[in-house]
Amino acid sequence: MDKVVEKFIRYVQFDTKSDFSSEACPSTSKQLALGEALVKELKAIGLQDAEMDENGYVMATLPANMAEVTKTIGFIAHMDTSPDMSGANVKPQFIENYDGGDILLNKEKNIVLSPKDFPDLKNYIGDTLITTDGTTLLGADNKAGIAEIIAAVEYLIQHPEIKHGTIKIGFTPDEEIGRGADKFDVAKFNADFAYTVDGGPIGELEYENFNAAGAKIVIHGRNVHPGASKNKMKNSILIAMELHNMLPIAERPEYTEGYEGFYHLNNFNGDVEETALVYIIRDHFKDRFEKKKQLLIEAVAFLNQKYGEGTIDLQLKDQYYNMKEKIEPVMEIVELAKKAMLAAGVAPNIKPVRGGTDGARLSYMGLPCPNIFTGGHNFHGKYEFISVAAMTKAVEVILKIVELNQ
């Protein structure tokens, strides 16, 4: 299983940061470099049909090696990393036999990964951890998933005594900006069901996720010299602050957990004349999701009435929905993953995703697609880390899912 680590370290050298502002697919051409490398590797291990399409989607097939007909399983991961932090020049650090204490990621900048801030570290005492050097994210989201899928497929090819049905592999671009399923060809993929290998800590098994919307808001002010501005100036920054404070404080991400939804102010940029805000709105329950959107609409309407029509422009767009509705009719695929985890010595932790995955969109496109763990923690930032033992278990779980699909 050392191969999964070698693959992971190789993949994180590719800078695949996606870009919200780009309309291209993929949003950044550098994602194609990793896609090309993955196609070459898949062909080298024995998958003859590996290819990447013009939109940067990689697909391949491991044919069945038994006569009995079983359902075709897919395994999916995404190639891009989050725009939240740089994914260039990643320098992974290995912490062997972790002792449960603070980890100095970067001496020069005094950046410390501490169990005081991240208690989950205590679960990995004695393990080998892979961390960042404090200047970039690591890329376990989702290059760990790619490494785990390819390591499992390579193992199956090298061990033909393990009987299995047809296995489909898919690697997508732009998941981090909500577009990973936009151009995914479900018919071409041709699987009965799939799993995204895109979860966090060991044992995660998820078939519920947020309903999601994105809001882009532009507030138009009026700048006048402050010395002569009475009854004339309209400060767009202050109107933006007023709008933000009309949303429930307790429904911000830092105050929510479990099934609690939120409004997240993701970007704020402006001056007196014009201010732009970007929100993401999330909730597991459709009725609460609709109420959250409606509250924002009403707040904007109120402020437009107060400050004049056209003061605030709101673009509100649904992004994806809770896949629970599409998974519940086929709960046997969740049970299959649960049995595989138990067989691999992993305690299943079935919980809602406090985010989204390609699997949410794909489930609504006709490909039921729960999510399983990669072993990573603290995605999207410099404190990201992953356990080598957890990565190995993820590979074992993929293999057990294949074996049990009889």
| Annotated catalytic residue, options 148, 154, 175, 208 | 175
State percent of the chain over pLDDT 70.
100
pLDDT in tens, 135-151: 999 999 999 999 999 99
DSSP 153-193: HHHHHH-TTS----EEEEEES-GGGT-TTTT--HHHH--SE
pLDDT in tens, 340-371: 999 999 999 999 988 878 899 999 999 999 99
pLDDT of residue 154: 98
pLDDT in tens, 312-326: 999 999 989 999 999
Checking if the pLDDT of 328 tops 60, the result is yes
Beta bridge partners of 74: 168, 194
**Pick from 401, 289, 281: nearest CA to 341:** 401
* CB atoms inside a 10 Å sphere around CB 100: 11
| Annotated catalytic residue, options 15, 80, 174, 198 | 80
Checking if the pLDDT of 1 tops 60, the result is no
pLDDT of residue 357: 80
pLDDT of residue 108: 95
pLDDT of residue 355: 82
- Is there a catalytic annotation at residue 175? yes
Mean pLDDT of the chain: 96
**pTM of the predicted model as reported, rounded to 2 decimal places:** 0.90
DSSP 204-236: EEE----EEEEEEEEEE-B---GGG-TTT-B-H
Residue spans of alpha helices (H) in 214-356: 236-245, 286-307, 324-327, 332-343
- Is there a catalytic annotation at residue 2? no
The domains found in the chain, sorted by start residue, are: 2-209+322-404 (3.40.630.10), 211-320 (3.30.70.360)
